[in-house]
Structure 1
Amino acid sequence: MRPDILFPLFAPARTLPGIGPRLEKLVEKLAGNKVVDLLWHLPSGLIDRRSRPKIAEVRDGEIATIEATVGLHVAPRNSRLPYRVHVSDDTGEMQIVFFNARPDHLLKTLPEGARRILSGRIEFYQGQPQLTHPDHIVRPEDMAALPLLEPVYPLTAGLPLKAVQKAARAALKLLPELPEWQDPHWLKARGWQAWHTSLRAAHAPQSLADLETGAPARARLAYDELLANQLALGLVRLRMRRLPGRTVTGDGRMRRKVIDALPFALTNAQTRALEEILSDMKSPHRMLRLLQGDVGSGKTVVALLAMLNAVEAGFQAAMMAPTEILARQHHATLAPLCAAAGVRLELLTGREKGSRRAEILAAVASGEVDILVGTHALFQEEVEFRALAFAVVDEQHRFGVHQRLMLTAKGGVGTDVLVMTATPIPRTLTLTAYGDMDVSRLDEKPPGRKPVDTRALPLDRLDEVVESLRRALTKSAQIYWVCPLVEESDEVDAAAAEERHKHLQSIFGDIVGLVHGRMKASEKDSVMARFEAGDIRILVATTVIEVGVNVPSATVMVIEHAERFGLAQLHQLRGRVGRGDDKSSCLLLYQAPLGETAAARIRIMRETEDGFRIAEEDLRLRGSGELLGTRQSGLPSFRIARIEEQAELLSAAYDDARLVLNADPELEAPRGRALRTLLYLFERDEAIRYLRSG
């Protein structure tokens, strides 16, 4: 249970002054629906009202705080014109301007002849200074109530800054005194203050430097958040280690047959990764390992050899892919190799129905099926394995942790899990997203993969591109044409693809095919099969072909509106070509003029094919929140920490969490109890359930 002391912070945001029913939804959209969400919503700017010029000294555009005597009120002739109030000091005079004014209210606030302090942005109109709708109007004796330094918060349309400022001030008043969860020596070495002191300081910046991620108050809070994340992942990992596992050691006979049937030798990276996986399988603990490989680095072969290790030992294995196209692709790739090894392989997706489905399910339950490949259909209740010992989850970021756990539960006693991703992930993201796993990296390409010639052209040269395709077709090339991401919507993306398909079909005829996310699975398969067979020579597609599609004869990739794609996605798409013996090329078509970030992406794509370098650059350009479509996937998003800028803090949090859990796995010592509070504070409650005494 969340400790009572934190209850006020988890009250609804609407309980804060300034947030009525009308603003509640906007605050929720901006920051969240709890008081604590406003505490994590830190200022992004600062209004400095310390400049106190005389009227003759004011400058256009500056924020100024002036003391003046109120003069004449000039009401407008009609309501569309502004209401003006003249004010003066011993150096000159200026006007205060109000639109949609209430005269009775203004006469009370600015009585003629009275002294007032006015603060706001000065504007010059027809050469004369004026102040439109001052931010503050106070009497000289109330000067102390005027905030000379005012935090500016990120806002959303319809939400006034004053309301967020007021709510944040009220939220800060609810801060409880909490036990310190950070190591005192570490705090001293970094020059950091206590948690509540840091939080108050972060909401009250004194200079622009205080808004930087490296400012002491912000860095302290970021470290708290990173430590909560690493502790939570560490607890999941501990729990996996505690669950009973099984020792799986095959005799190698099937693996040898597959290795002999391969047209190439395994790379050093493949051999190393396989040894790490086999060593995990041999240990009595459950395996949870991430296999990261760049496009075309041979992950599927490593996964197959690991699955065969389980089959050799008398068990079953399963491989789960996020889409039907990818599941069928894996099945097609593995089938000849499994046949060479004498292993029964089956495919199970939503499309296998009726008696065929019943037959597969019965064979899986009886143990006749050695390896089952499928989509998330694999973890439906009706699927029962006789002895599942090894599960491969492909493209992990498309699945949540819970789906992964559901599949492992199918094995009864500790199923070993290998998670694969073809999206190279920067080390910092690996730690935050997969910190509960051991990691193997395939950083070499199998021999024979040819480099892809990458070029960039503006979209207004489309006719030239079409002409170059005509030439490529005479040399029997096959071509992908990927249509732009219009928005996160299959429907709109499909419409864009249909347009381009129509256009190219009018030029090249029936050799142009189309595949997009709105089509039925059977239609998609039929188009892909015709493309593989060479009946379709140009395949117009949305990003459904991003991962796993393997057509070695395809040698040209055209990406339309390349500026709309992230780097990792461009790299994935380019990886669909360069798989056969012929020279391949990738054309990035962009809409000129290019923004700075888009230009940087295209430059990096032309410079390198190293997916790990591309991933690091993508993180730098986009920030962790956008990478891998974080918002849609199981990756954590951080409220305060910026891992692209604070990798060193993340490494420290990783080490700190390991040390804490090694010494105090149940978080029972004084610091451990305080760290439980930290986990609750950052809503990592799930992890606390993994504590024996939690």
Structure 2
Amino acid sequence: MTLDTPIEFLKGIGTERAKFIRSVLGFQTVEDFLTFYPLRYADRSTVHKIGALQSSSENEIQLKGKITDVQEIAYGKGQKRLTAKFRDDTGTIELVWFRYSKWLQEQLPLNQEIFVFGKVNEFNGNFSLPHPEIEKDEKKAVSNSLLPVYPGSEKLAKRGLNNKFFQNIIRDILQQLPQMISENLPAELMKKLGIIGRLPAMFHIHFPNDMQHLEHAEKRLRFEEAFFFQLGYVLKKQHHKTTVIGNPFPKVGKPFEDFYQHRLPFELTGAQKRVLREIRADMKKPVQMNRLLQGDVGSGKTMVALLSMLIALGNGFQSCLMAPTEILAQQHFQSLQDLLDGTGVTIRLLTGSTKTADRRVIDDELQSGELSILVGTHAVLEDRVTFNNLGLAIIDEQHRFGVAQRARLWAKNKIPPHILVMTATPIPRTLAMSFYSDLDVSVIDELPVGRKSIITAHRKERDRLTIFRFVQDEIAKGRQAYFVYPLIEESETLDYKNLQENYVHICEF
């Protein structure tokens, strides 16, 4: 057996079960079972007494006793449930199955010492244990105190794929695991970080002896996943920087110099200047720039984007700025148009709402090279939109665009354009290094002079009236406020605040 062995060759599965598992869980190989980690763990180290049970317990419990009576009870329209009386020396509790087979009914051990495990329900002062796990007394000695509880569903359970099934399959795999996997981290690194080996980690993530073993396994596997995830991105970034060519922009150019010296509406912050130097250094090279620009709303990302586009223009290239919504695209276009007024730099807006006649003008000007800067939405990605010489593509809030959409932007020029991605979402440095490690990251970490910092505060439901009074005071000062709700109207399935109800509350205040 290897990690790549198809699941139908595992003991207890076979062809038909394998087909079902593939359709429901997507498992193809032994490795898929091995990395099917438990949802939680059941503590089998304590045996409770029926007479000492507490109501509303959130935890699963274990009882030891005997089944003394089994019967089917009809209820509803043609439905039946299976019940059994379970006794220990302190009392009696009902075991109940709403979904069961004739086989289960016949296999229930009467008047034998057994263990049952499950979550207690209480109704009208009576306790019951729905769909408990049953374990015979003689097998208990070899059981772990912590047993894995795997994700499941009614669909799986109806086909016999319950928690016990997954425990048995994975236990069989673990017995052959030493022949299937080898260590993939250097011994020096594991010693330095205090993490255990790959083999014991796989054993203890499924069947830990205690919480300490489980914690060691989780630490190892989490590090391994993060390490190889980031290593993959580093290799991808290295490959990009050595193989993906880009158009070099050797000079700053007259459009940039004129705007910077005579039309800059305010002094750039130190952070904006630093970021511009980083972008400039990238675009001078014959390698495609791939950079993430992060900064709060109002930090000056748009000005950095404009100055970057003027550098492209000074080197004979066109630029585009793509936003995820028409409203945001219109805002970018308006602010850029105002800044470029009187400079002679041509800029146009292209969205799904652009009229056909205007689109023809934009298409012609793009192809001729007359149009220097195009601001738009997804409409920019359409095949009919062709540039004369696209050198820089700027994407605002890039998480709103799919990978395939961004790839289509690359194809807008024979030599891929430099890519600058902008986001206002605050991303911790360590997270940015992990999830955006294929990008170089620039951060605008200071606001322009006179711009107040944004204060984010969290308040609870009990503070509602205080918030309303605060908003009322701010409005009295001539300021504005807005409320955002996750739902427009009340939902039967989602317990969230809704606009219609709370609009009335605000108006009544």
CA distance in 2 between partners of 1:325 and 1:265 (Å): 28
Residue 195, structure 1, aligned to residue 198, structure 2: yes
What is aligned with 1:471?
476
What is aligned with 1:135?
133
Choose the corresponding residue for 2:42, options 21, 44, 47. 47
Residue 357, structure 1, aligned to residue 359, structure 2: yes
Residues 487 and 307 of structure 1: is their aligned pair in 2 closer, same or farther, counting only changes over 3 Å?
A: same
1:252-331 pair list within 5 angstroms: 252-259=253-260, 260-331=262-333
What is aligned with 1:218?
218
CA distance in 2 between partners of 1:425 and 1:385 (Å): 33
| Deviations 1:591-644 (CA, angstroms, capped at 9, x unpaired) | xxxxxxxxxxxxxxxxxxxxxxxxxxxxxxxxxxxxxxxxxxxxxxxxxxxxxx
CA distance in 1 between partners of 2:67 and 2:163 (Å): 34
Amino acid at match of 1:239: H
Checking the alignment, whether the CA contact within 8 Å between 2:145 and 2:209 is kept in structure 1 is no
Residues 210 and 159 of structure 1: is their aligned pair in 2 closer, same or farther, counting only changes over 3 Å?
A: farther
What is aligned with 1:598?
none
What is aligned with 2:227?
227
CA distance in 1 between partners of 2:33 and 2:322 (Å): 40
What is aligned with 2:487?
486
Residues 415 and 132 of structure 1: is their aligned pair in 2 closer, same or farther, counting only changes over 3 Å?
A: closer
Q: After the TM superposition, which of the residue ranges 263-272 and 170-179 deviates more from structure 2?
A: 170-179
| Deviations 1:240-282 (CA, angstroms, capped at 9, x unpaired) | 2111222103344222332332331000000000011001111
| Deviations 1:442-480 (CA, angstroms, capped at 9, x unpaired) | 0010012135677868445787578557635xx4x4x35
CA distance in 2 between partners of 1:258 and 1:58 (Å): 81
SS at match of 1:356: helix
Structure 2, unmatched stretches of 5+, are none
Checking the alignment, whether the CA contact within 8 Å between 2:8 and 2:17 is kept in structure 1 is no
1:134-533 pair list within 5 angstroms: 135-138=133-136, 140=138, 142-143=139-140, 148-154=145-151, 163-167=162-166, 169-171=168-170, 173-174=172-173, 177-211=180-214, 215-241=215-241, 242-259=243-260, 260-451=262-453, 458-459=463-464, 468=473, 471-472=476-477, 475=478, 477=479, 479-486=480-487
Let me know the Cα RMSD of the aligned residues.
4.6
**What is the TM-score when the length of structure 2 is the normalising length?**
0.78
Q: CA deviation at 1:314?
A: 1.0
CA distance in 2 between partners of 1:103 and 1:315 (Å): 76
**What is the TM-score when the length of structure 1 is the normalising length?**
0.59
Amino acid at match of 2:373: I
CA distance in 2 between partners of 1:467 and 1:26 (Å): 56
What is aligned with 1:631?
none
Checking the alignment, whether the CA contact within 8 Å between 2:86 and 2:95 is kept in structure 1 is no
SS at match of 2:420: strand
CA distance in 1 between partners of 2:500 and 2:93 (Å): 57
Residues 331 and 167 of structure 1: is their aligned pair in 2 closer, same or farther, counting only changes over 3 Å?
A: same
What is aligned with 1:644?
none
CA distance in 2 between partners of 1:108 and 1:294 (Å): 64
Residues 348 and 135 of structure 1: is their aligned pair in 2 closer, same or farther, counting only changes over 3 Å?
A: same
Checking the alignment, whether the CA contact within 8 Å between 1:261 and 1:340 is kept in structure 2 is no
Checking the alignment, whether the CA contact within 8 Å between 1:361 and 1:384 is kept in structure 2 is yes
SS at match of 1:136: strand
Q: CA deviation at 1:106?
A: 6.3
Q: How many residues align?
A: 482
Q: CA deviation at 1:124?
A: 12
Amino acid at match of 1:200: F
1:648-687 pair list within 5 angstroms: none
Q: After the TM superposition, which of the residue ranges 143-152 and 300-309 deviates more from structure 2?
A: 143-152
What is aligned with 1:569?
none
What is aligned with 1:110?
109
CA distance in 1 between partners of 2:300 and 2:70 (Å): 79
Choose the corresponding residue for 1:95, options 92, 96, 106. 92
Residues 334 and 105 of structure 1: is their aligned pair in 2 closer, same or farther, counting only changes over 3 Å?
A: closer
Give me the identity figure in percent.
Answer: 32
Amino acid at match of 1:187: M
Q: CA deviation at 1:499?
A: 7.3
SS at match of 2:441: strand
SS at match of 1:8: coil
Checking the alignment, whether the CA contact within 8 Å between 2:190 and 2:196 is kept in structure 1 is yes
Q: CA deviation at 1:23?
A: 8.4
SS at match of 2:223: helix
Structure 1, unmatched stretches of 5+, are 508-588, 590-694
CA distance in 1 between partners of 2:153 and 2:170 (Å): 19
Amino acid at match of 1:290: L
Q: CA deviation at 1:227?
A: 2.6
Choose the corresponding residue for 1:8, options 5, 8, 15. 5
SS at match of 1:248: coil
